[in-house]
Amino acid sequence: MKIGITGTTGRVGAALASYFTALGEQVVSLDRAQFDLINPERFDELLDNIDVLINPAALSAPDGCENFPEQANAINHLAPLRMAELCNIRGIVFLHFSTDYVFSGNELGKRRENDEANAINVYGASKRAGEIAVMQANPAAIILRVSWVYGADKPAYVEQTLQKILNNDLLEAIADKWSIPTSMKDLCEWVNFLLKNQASGVYHACNAGEPVSWHGIAVALQESMLHQGLISSAREIMATKLSDISHFSAPRPIHTAMDNSLLSHQLPQPIRHWRDALDEFVRDQLVASHHKPSM
């Protein structure tokens, strides 16, 4: 299977490229140098001989999108539309990534795939426009909404927090915004399964469990590190508020945790709890660093 992957300099794209290469698949890296999402004219020729196109490339920073809405629309909406059209015409399987930020975040609990998506910032709105365009142009496409991805080479919140805990840095985290983290390791398996099983449609691709804040993740991470001997004592993690962050130009949705049962029921095994995935991530760090347990 020849798999074209966009955004291979990014978190998800790089991890998927490594994963499929390790599986022995032929991966074609479609990074910005060849496949600039602002200029879709060349997409057609670049898809020659490709069986599957995976599109994690995006303008993914909410503040960047808020400040450059035309660019956000071009990259997050118009480029996926063109990819979906071409894949449909050429019989290429298309898998596209979206986000929990398509939701307004105004309701407690977990969102289902068909719940109303009413984004409150340019990022979420441009990603939602991309979803709708992809579904209309290519009903066979797969769209995965992910949230708070960690465990890729490019560090995310979980990796940064783990490092701060190891460094004994001052710890504070936002405690009034909720979602569910997504293990990159699990995400790779889900993508592979969906591609091999001719899936289509929108799926919520995050781990299972209750919604959690960044503060809750930091506490769970520290507990796991303590339990597994990566640190010898826990420290207080100060709870802060979203409103304490003054440099955000895009508003952030508050409750965007997603219900993954649709995807979970399709997989050979149910999706695991985010705490179990986080524990494994900590275990992997322990192995990778050959860190000796401190007593």
Ligand X SMILES: NC(=O)c1ccc[n+]([C@@H]2O[C@H](COP(=O)([O-])OP(=O)(O)OC[C@H]3O[C@@H](n4cnc5c(N)ncnc54)[C@H](OP(=O)(O)O)[C@@H]3O)[C@@H](O)[C@H]2O)c1
Query: Which of 277, 3, 17 minimizes the C-alpha distance to 148?
Result: 277
Contact letters (x/-) for ligand X, 72-111, by CB under 6 A?
Answer: ---x---------------------x-x------------
Q: How many CA within 13 A on the CB side of residue 58?
A: 28
Q: Specify the DSSP class assigned to residue 114.
A: T
Interaction residues for ligand X, span 125-144 (CB under 6 A): 127
Residue 271 β-bridge partners: none
Residue in 101, 123, 150, 203 annotated catalytic: 123
Q: Under rule CB under 6 A, how many of the chain's residues touch ligand X?
A: 27
Q: Could you say whether residue 146 binds ligand X (CB under 6 A)?
A: yes
Q: Please work out, in degrees rounded to the nearest 5, the angle formed at the alpha carbon of residue 204 by the alpha carbons of 201 and 206.
A: 145
- Given candidates 3, 19, 29, 56, which one binds ligand X under the rule CB under 6 A? 56
Interacting stretch for ligand X, rule CB under 6 A, among 10-18, 223-231, 232-240, 251-259? 10-18
Name the residue nearer to ligand X (CB basis): 68 or 193. 68
Which residue, among 108, 293, 277, 267, has the nearest Cα to 207 in the 3D structure? 277
Which residue, among 179, 193, 127, 188, has the nearest Cα to 152 in the 3D structure? 188
Shortest Cβ 233–ligand X spacing (Å):
30
Reading phi first (left if > 0) and then psi (alpha if -120 to 50, else beta), residue 109 is in left
Does position 7 interact with ligand X (CB under 6 A)? The reply is yes
**From the CB of 148, what's the least distance to ligand X, in Å?**
5
Residue numbers at the binding site for ligand X (CB under 6 A): 6-7, 9-13, 32, 35-38, 56-60, 75, 97, 99, 127, 146-149, 154, 156
